[in-house]
């Protein structure tokens, strides 16, 4: 029965994606790509697993896997060839444009030169993921969307968050992961040569050290879901504060609670801590000062609960996490030390696809992999590490500046979401290869590009609208 239901959902989704591709080509409006990305990327891995379950064919996995690149390059081609004014357009170059270009050029340098032990195709697959973020940023940097399109984009993201929470509820009630129903373990073993681990035949990511289930809904895993929840919360919060209508406030307030619920279902310590930091960041930077107290109260309440009311297992789980005696935390620490040692020994970098958790990274050659900053540092050296840190710093800084200089509440939404999400993701980036979470990674970089566009329009013309 579950296979039939999921088959209907998958077929409906693919028909919708096909129609979006048709509209993209017919109208030449790049916005349809982002509608595609919002609907497709959250269940990107789950769809691969499902189609492999149904067909037992790697070809079906290949089609699902590279559909996003196919649609993105169609979008890029449409953007270039449908705009006759593009060659005559005067571009205002920002520092972030230069840093992003330098980062991608450095990655290309490591691709073409014989650096590292990985074959060219493995390095090309890793470079492709870096290039995708640059293309998406470029599109966001230059696209113009109507207010209606932007609002619908955000509502679709919140719709995905709501659907994920509903799936979480079903998973929690039944005690069965959705990934079990689509034979995720068999898919990873056959296609990616990753053997199932843990008590549920998936991976250790789907449970805590004590065996408590962690749920990822239709996302790749619980960590992917929790990172996407940080994006959804920022959207729900800003829409809640900007709408003048009580019914909308109730709706967006409810969605904030739903997103928090998904964070707890995913049970990611890094993302839960990042959520508290996200509240404090919003309160301090964007002058919602009551949230500072909310963040402080949450932290204080958690400390009191852990010290005096939590179970003994919970108490030692928190203590072992903070002291790095928890198996997961200790694993992070070991990976970090291994990566730092590699950077010290080879500050020039040891080559693409030599670190991290991507499918192109072979475990036999992998050095580190539990910290996005160190992953780039291992692969592309200190220069790659500095460029990536600078890129995130400028993304957050420009988003804040664009927000503060916006003339209307509607103009503030994009930079608020971009800056808040990028800041909130800093902590997950320290504990995971988080740029592989394509949904939140690509959407947030696109929002950063839009924020840069807004900031430039404010400098050129204080009365200019960011889109439309």
Residue 88 or 149, more confident: 149
Helices (H), 28-119: 31-40, 44-55, 58-81, 95-112
Q: Cα–Cα distance between 435 and 2 in angstroms, integer?
A: 31
C-alpha of 334 from chain center = 24
Least confident of 142-156, 190-204, 448-462: 448-462
184 within some domain: no
Residue 391 or 308, more confident: 391
pLDDT single digits (tens) 290-335: 777 777 777 777 678 666 666 665 555 565 555 555 556 666 778 8
pLDDT single digits (tens) 211-262: 778 899 999 999 999 999 999 999 999 999 888 888 888 999 999 999 999 9
Would you call 407 helix, strand, or coil by DSSP? coil
33 within some domain: no
Confidence at 465, pLDDT banded by 50, 70, 90: very low
437 within some domain: yes
pTM of structure: 0.90
Q: What is the pLDDT at residue 466?
A: 36
Q: What is the pLDDT at residue 259?
A: 94
Q: How many domains does the chain have?
A: 1
248: CB partners within 8 A, 6+ apart: 239, 240
6 within some domain: no
171 within some domain: yes
282 within some domain: yes
105 within some domain: yes
- Residue 328's nearest CA partner among 207, 235, 202 is 207
247 within some domain: yes
458: CB partners within 8 A, 6+ apart: 402, 405, 406, 464
Instruction: Give me the phi and psi of 417, to 5 degrees please.
Output: -65, -40
pLDDT single digits (tens) 1-42: 556 666 677 677 778 778 888 888 888 788 889 999 999 999
The boundaries of the domain holding residue 352 are: 89-178+198-288+324-460
- Residue 52's nearest CA partner among 177, 185, 168 is 185
Least confident of 187-191, 280-284, 340-344, 405-409: 405-409
């Amino acid at each position: 029965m579950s296979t039939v239901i999921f088959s209907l959902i998958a077929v409906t989704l693919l028909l919708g994606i096909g129609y979006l591709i048709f509209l993209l080509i017919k109208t030449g409006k790049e916005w349809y790509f982002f509608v595609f990305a919002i609907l497709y990327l959250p269940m990107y891995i789950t769809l691969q697993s499902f189609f492999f379950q149904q067909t037992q064919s790697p070809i079906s996995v290949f089609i699902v896997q590279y559909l996003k690149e196919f649609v993105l390059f169609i979008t890029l081609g449409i953007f270039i060839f449908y705009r006759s004014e593009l060659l005559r357009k005067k571009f205002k170059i920002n520092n972030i444009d230069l840093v992003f270009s330098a980062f991608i050029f450095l990655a290309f340098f490591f691709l073409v030169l014989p650096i590292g032990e990985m074959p060219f195709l493995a390095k090309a697959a890793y470079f492709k993921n870096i290039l995708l973020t640059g293309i998406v940023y470029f599109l966001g940097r230059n696209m113009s969307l109507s207010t209606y399109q932007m609002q619908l984009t955000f509502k679709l993201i919140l719709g995905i968050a709501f659907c994920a929470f509903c799936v979480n509820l079903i998973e929690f009630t039944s005690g069965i992961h959705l990934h079990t129903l689509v034979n995720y373990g068999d898919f990873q073993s056959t296609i990616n040569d990753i053997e199932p681990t843990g008590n549920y035949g998936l991976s250790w990511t789907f449970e805590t050290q004590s065996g408590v289930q962690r749920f990822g809904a239709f996302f790749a895993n619980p960590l992917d879901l929790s990172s996407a929840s940080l994006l959804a919360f920022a959207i729900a919060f800003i829409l809640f504060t900007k709408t003048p209508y009580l019914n909308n406030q109730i709706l967006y307030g409810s969605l904030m609670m739903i997103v928090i619920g998904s964070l707890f279902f995913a049970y990611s310590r890094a993302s839960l801590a990042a959520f508290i930091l996200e509240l404090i960041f919003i309160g301090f930077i964007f002058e919602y000062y009551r949230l500072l107290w909310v963040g402080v109260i949450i932290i204080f309440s958690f400390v009191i609960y852990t010290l005096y009311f939590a179970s003994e297992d919970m108490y030692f789980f928190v203590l072992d996490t903070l002291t790095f005696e928890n198996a997961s935390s200790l694993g992070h620490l070991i990976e970090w030390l291994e990566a730092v040692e590699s950077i010290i020994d080879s500050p020039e970098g040891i080559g693409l696809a030599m670190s991290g958790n991507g499918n192109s990274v072979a475990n036999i050659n992998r050095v580190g992999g539990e910290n996005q900053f160190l992953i780039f540092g291992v692969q592309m050296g200190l220069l790659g590490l500095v460029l990536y840190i600078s890129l995130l710093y400028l993304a957050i800084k420009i988003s804040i500046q664009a927000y503060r200089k916006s003339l209307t509440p509607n103009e503030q939404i994009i930079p608020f979401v971009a800056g808040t999400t990028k800041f909130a993701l800093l902590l997950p980036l320290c504990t995971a290869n988080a740029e592989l979470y394509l949904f939140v990674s690509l959407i947030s970089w696109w929002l950063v590009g839009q924020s840069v566009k807004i900031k430039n329009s404010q400098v050129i013309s204080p009365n200019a609208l960011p889109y439309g």
